[in-house]
Structure 1
């Protein structure tokens, strides 16, 4: 039977709120650091419930576009609210747990092997990656490239060609998890500190300590707002005849 007449998806109300907020920020010439109107005011002006406004703000927060300061309001982190389509966000939320599970299994073992097999040259590359990430964060960035370099250096220091192939096979998904983690408030500096602990253990040749440090780090990486977000936690726009 043809799939053409399948039920039509109803737009989530908070997605419409996000679009109105995007238009508002653009027309009002707001910039990073500016404050959005309070949720109550937004709900009144848009003619929707506060729950729909709150869910829209959560989606924008998950994407690193706004910062919600408890008791202090919502502030722009960028000059625009060009948000990722919600369906793409939902799909990433669906696959992220599997990626994080694979990373913990692979990278914990890689850290253990790196502690056993690292060379002086490997340690130099690891240290350089730490320095690069430190500079990125110092310049106000999230440290994404430094993070990539560090984890790549751990993989190289393990001297396991097959495990390196496994890591390359999920490189795109790892990049997603990296970006998601490092845009959490306060996460870049915390990740850097955890990288230093991993490096210290590898440098000392302590395989158990290196594995434990990597496991702790990856469990921190897994703590992202996206996984706590429920995309269906909002009333949908009623279809004709439903009202």
Structure 2
């Protein structure tokens, strides 16, 4: 039995379970695709409840570090289990709903205005962003930079200085929501498909369709694992 997964002397909080799992991954030199011990095995070897283990695994899943397959166990998605501090994760979860609300309100209007005001150069920039994101996804990447370029191109096409300023003021928070969303399994491809629908409505100069497509897209972005995690839940 490894030292990292040696029994704890008393029940610990899930933050401490996280540290033991991280130590085990480093000790065993595990990487992407490798399977973690089962919940039952982790609980037995650490001397804690399965609820505590499950809470720790949920935190790792919310950060996109593991893939929990129902009935199949938990698998690493990265070569290094570098989980963010729990306090940072709690803060991100607290502010994420408001960021997503702001994105839906502002970006829906930006898409509508872009459909009314776009130029050929704007359409070229949007197409370039779509192509860039597509290439990222083909390389097995989440498409973060392409996504950023796409939304930036729509903001530029809307030609609204004040709305663009609002977007810049929450750029850091938008980046967080983008990262959270594109870490979801299958999300990069789905987001790219939705981007194409938004772009088509803008290309056709259809403000209502552009706004509706953007609203559906941001609502999809809002469906992230982090919001399903309750940091106050007692194991």
SS of the residue aligned with 1:37?
Answer: coil
If the length of structure 1 is used for normalisation, what is the TM-score?
A: 0.91
If the length of structure 2 is used for normalisation, what is the TM-score?
A: 0.94
Matched, 1:35 2:38: no
SS of the residue aligned with 2:30?
Answer: coil
Q: Distance in 2 between matches of 1:64 and 1:22?
A: 14
Return 5+ residue gaps in structure 1 as ranges. Answer: 1-10, 236-243
- 1:78-157 counterparts in 2 under 5 A? 78-157=78-157
Deviation beyond 3 Å, 4+ runs, structure 1? none
Q: Distance in 2 between matches of 1:63 and 1:30?
A: 18
Q: Distance in 1 between matches of 2:189 and 2:157?
A: 24
Q: How many residues align?
A: 225
Deviation at 1:28, TM superposition (A): 0.6
2:8: which partner in 1? Answer: none
Return 5+ residue gaps in structure 2 as ranges. Answer: 1-10
Deviation at 1:228, TM superposition (A): 1.2
Higher relative contact order (CA 8 A, sep 6+): 1
Structure 1 residues 216 and 12, CA gap change in structure 2 (3 angstroms)? farther
Q: Distance in 2 between matches of 1:79 and 1:129?
A: 29
Contact 2:108 2:215 in 1 (8 A): yes
Deviation at 1:234, TM superposition (A): 2.6
Contact 1:12 1:234 in 2 (8 A): no
Matched, 1:232 2:232: yes
